[in-house]
């Protein structure tokens, strides 16, 4: 498995990680726990060393799953988790608003350490910027955890460029995790150049557009009420139909490269920078194997130009999140 370092840090991970959220949260009924433990361990056998979770996924159950699955393999993996929400301990509500006060960060770290069955959290992200808490205080709190040996690296998620700079000035930021794919390219505006300048790694989540870029859906697709995508403007029948042109683009290149649309979407991301480590999620072994196959696909400069020319002609339809969720990003 190809390895990559996240920015200028010494944190080396597999070029593709595994996003574990969907195993417990957001995409309908949680998958079978034993099967997911087996899937996670199989991913390690196939060379994956980077696993992504968060306390809010469940809440709590995804960290517990990842912790149990990776406990026998701890010395072979890097585990990332996140803080930043007030969570309902009864589980009736997914979250009760943002909370990145220093005391909350430290309490979350202690709880996550236990659920993950680790002595130190490899990468600890602020899940969303909390406007009520200066980012310098957040960075300082994580810095204290690093000094105590409870956290190894500090990360941010969906933060704006100026917020990353402010945090990085207090405590070096190892990675920024934000959505990035052929159908969400906002990071290209100012984020990618800033990360390169500061030597910070980039971890794109939803690199397959929540399954859309893999060619899994069309305008006839429907989603259960427990599936997060049922609330997303980009997954309405009208938007799915309009955005099919992106999948067609990927399918055309996939035929040329003897791959699949998902593999081309991931290979495209990997080709954007050696500083990028996507974390596609899945609950199926076949999809895991398919995603890892992207590492064998080489997109030439001519291929990338062809994709860029075709993508430039496509205007993606539909907002990625409802307004109240989008408001928590890029601030």
Q: CA 48, 73, 34, 280: dihedral to nearest 10 degrees? A: -20
Q: How many CA atoms within 13 Å lie on the side-chain side of 98?
A: 16
Q: Would you give the DSSP letter of residue 15?
A: S
Residue 78: which H helix or E strand, with range?
strand 78-83
Nearest to 87 by CA among 120, 115, 52: 115
DSSP 236-251: SHHHHHHTHHHHHHHH
CA-to-CA distance for 213 and 262, rounded, in angstroms? Answer: 6
Q: Would you give the DSSP letter of residue 170?
A: H
At 176, is the secondary structure helix, strand, or coil? strand
CA-to-CA distance for 157 and 19, rounded, in angstroms? Answer: 14
Spot the catalytic one: 27, 57, 180, 205: 57
- The full length of the chain comes to 331
Is 57 among the catalytic positions?
yes
Phi, psi of 13 (to 5 degrees): -140, 165
**And the tokens for 54?**
């968060």
**And the tokens for 142?**
């994580």
Nearest to 281 by CA among 181, 202, 206: 206
Nearest to 208 by CA among 269, 262, 259: 262
CB atoms within 10 A of CB 47: 15
**Structural contact between residues 84 and 99, judged by C-beta atoms closer than 8 angstroms:** yes
List % helix, strand, coil for the chain (3-state, nearest 5).
Answer: 45, 15, 40
Catalytic residues: 57
């Amino acid at each position: 498995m190809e390895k990559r370092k996240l920015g200028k840090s010494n944190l080396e991970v597999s070029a593709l990680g595994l996003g574990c959220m969907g195993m417990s949260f957001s995409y309908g009924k949680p998958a079978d726990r034993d099967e997911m433990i087996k899937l996670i361990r199989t991913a390690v056998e196939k060379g994956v060393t980077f696993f992504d979770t968060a306390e809010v996924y469940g809440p709590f159950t995804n960290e517990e799953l990842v912790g149990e699955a990776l406990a026998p393999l701890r010395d072979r993996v890097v585990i990332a988790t996140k803080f930043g929400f007030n969570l309902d301990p009864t589980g009736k509500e997914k979250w009760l608003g943002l909370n990145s006060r220093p005391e909350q960060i430290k309490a979350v770290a202690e709880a996550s350490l236990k659920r993950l069955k680790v002595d130190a959290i490899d990468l600890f992200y602020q899940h969303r910027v909390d406007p009520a808490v200066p980012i310098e205080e957040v960075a300082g709190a994580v810095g204290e955890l690093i000094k105590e040996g409870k956290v190894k690296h500090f990360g941010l998620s969906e933060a704006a460029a100026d917020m990353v700079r402010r945090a990085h000035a207090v405590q070096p930021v190892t990675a920024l995790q934000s959505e990035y794919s052929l159908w969400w390219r906002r990071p290209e505006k100012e984020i990618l150049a800033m990360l390169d300048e500061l030597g910070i790694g980039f971890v794109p989540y939803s690199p397959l557009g929540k399954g859309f870029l893999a060619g899994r859906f069309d305008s006839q697709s429907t989603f259960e009420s427990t599936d997060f995508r049922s609330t997303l403007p980009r997954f309405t029948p009208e938007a799915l139909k309009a955005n099919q042109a992106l999948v067609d683009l990927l399918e055309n290149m996939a035929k040329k490269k003897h791959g699949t649309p998902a593999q081309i979407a991931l290979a495209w991301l990997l080709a954007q920078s050696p500083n990028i480590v996507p974390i596609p999620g899945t609950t199926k072994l076949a999809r895991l194997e398919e995603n890892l196959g992207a590492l064998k696909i080489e997109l030439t400069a001519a291929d990338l130009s062809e994709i860029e020319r075709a993508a430039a002609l496509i205007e993606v339809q539909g907002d990625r999140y409802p307004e109240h969720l989008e408001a928590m990003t890029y601030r």
